[in-house]
Structure 1
């Protein structure tokens, strides 16, 4: 059925408003998805408007057509109206795009606006995106997320992330370092370590390692398995109940040690502390310890070292020095 000119203009204006709000990080994603799904004309208008917007950005020397725009945080506010000059330019370009499409040109929608989330040292952020997927970003982390054709894509740029995808959700594509995964419904923990080493743990559910660099194989990461990816090489291992408890402890503001050397324990603890812990002598680091401690308060950890191993802590302005 042919749309009336008045209705077509209204839909184009709404698509322009949504695109501006998404790009600025002001849109409510659930409301936007409901608007787009309510009428095929809405979806088509948004796809075409999105393509035109990217073309305008390229002409201005801005982002490439395949790079999502950054926004400060996940959208939580209703969309506001686009300023008239920008909106007028978009509508004019949209009209030209329609003429090109009638002549056989094909428009491909690129990624909608991406949203950047960061955490400071010692901070953790938990939030919900898309279809009630929960993302929990650990200390000193940074990620970007966006919707591509209605499916969630997440890129972990640094740090550690827990993902909880409820039953019935579409697969999520996860980009971490040089690795790429497809996650089904379930619970996952992923960490990007130094040297682009990627740890992916499937606590519940299944994940698939997606092919890169022309490879055709897709590897399955089964439930209760951990996959370590280093320089494209994959090494898997099972997860015990203790492993899962240790992986999940940070989501409760805790850190769990089970026989690790003190050097490793300090590296883990320092991820959460603005004033890092240091050893006065390297040979002290071979002490092995266990216990559950608070990530934002090392006082009980330091007390355990003193009582069990005679290791004293000197708290200075910018660090904590351990000596015996």
Structure 2
């Protein structure tokens, strides 16, 4: 039976196709056949036309800062040969840069995740069964590589968040490396999150040992977690274990986001991990207000629509983007 796209999958596919068409039509003089094929694509449905109009709108918004940047670079440039090259290439480069910026705004995961052994897109989740029987649950925008040999099983969590259910193998330790922090399973189930060189390790069952790696590759001082504990880490530090909300830490496995007594800005930052069109807070004071949130990740817009009933906020939408102000 053929796969039936969900509405979010259809929107994402059309956005990808619209970006590709915009790049194709603005990177040079399009031929008549290209224009005919484009018009046929655009005329398939109102959704196709809307997707392309959105990309055109974003391109126009990006043009102003791009022109300012080109002007600054021209003033700074002293080489007449480079100036001549810029004059010849400027129009094409501007269009390419604008489309690239648009594409990266919507699809940063396509740039960073595609070369990993396993990866998910923004808003996606996946389950991976390894050869040893271990199971990995990948959350949104996650990428990892797997190495297995006779002496070790090692997962390199490159970005994102994953829950690990580790198969017992006394002869081969199971280790998850995130930057220079390594989590070693001692027969267990745990979650590791790693975003922008910082992260958190939460133990759900069993035991894990977390340690920093020295430049030589040797393990430094380690901490051992008990169930219901977590540690945070960054490039330099590894915290002591602390109590964790286990249910909230793994709620994404159930398609939920649960956050209690946290600033609104933190909730918005978390939601943005699951949305291509980002949510922006326009009021810094409002962002500091503590709230409780239980959000269905499959229907974030319903939570946004209900927010003015509990907080003094106004919701404004601009295409895929959402702005929250007081």
Q: Which string of whole-angstrom CA distances, capped at 9 and with x for unpartnered residues, describes residues 3-61 of structure 1?
A: xxxxxxxxxxxxxxxxxxxxxxxxxxxxxxxxxxxxxxxxxxxxxxxxxxxxxxxxxxx
SS in 2 for 1:163: strand
1:280 match = 282
CA contact (8 A) 2:168 2:187 kept: yes
2:157 match = 156
Q: Which string of whole-angstrom CA distances, capped at 9 and with x for unpartnered residues, describes residues 154-200 of structure 1?
A: 00011111111145665312111111232121111111122x11311
Structure-1 separation of matches of 2:316 and 2:275 = 15
CA contact (8 A) 1:144 1:155 kept: yes
Structure-1 separation of matches of 2:184 and 2:134 = 14
Q: CA deviation at 1:204?
A: 1.4
Question: Is 2:230 the partner of 1:226?
Answer: yes
2:139 match = 138
CA contact (8 A) 2:123 2:275 kept: yes
1:291 match = 293
SS in 1 for 2:190: strand
CA contact (8 A) 1:177 1:198 kept: no
Q: CA deviation at 1:307?
A: 0.7
Structure-2 separation of matches of 1:291 and 1:115 = 33
Which one has a larger percent helix, Structure 1 or Structure 2? 2
Structure-2 separation of matches of 1:294 and 1:151 = 38
Structure-2 separation of matches of 1:287 and 1:192 = 26
Q: Flag structure 1 segments of 5+ consecutive residues without an equivalent.
A: 1-71, 74-113
Structure-2 separation of matches of 1:129 and 1:115 = 15
1:172 match = 174
Structure-2 separation of matches of 1:151 and 1:311 = 52
Structure-2 separation of matches of 1:293 and 1:119 = 20
Q: CA deviation at 1:301?
A: 1.8
In the TM superposition, 1:230-309 aligns within 5 A as 230-240=234-244, 243-309=245-311
SS in 1 for 2:274: coil
Q: TM-score, normalised by structure 1?
A: 0.59
Q: Flag structure 2 segments of 5+ consecutive residues without an equivalent.
A: 1-112
Matched length:
210
Q: TM-score, normalised by structure 2?
A: 0.59
Q: CA RMSD in A?
A: 2.4
CA contact (8 A) 1:314 1:322 kept: yes
Structure-2 separation of matches of 1:264 and 1:287 = 10
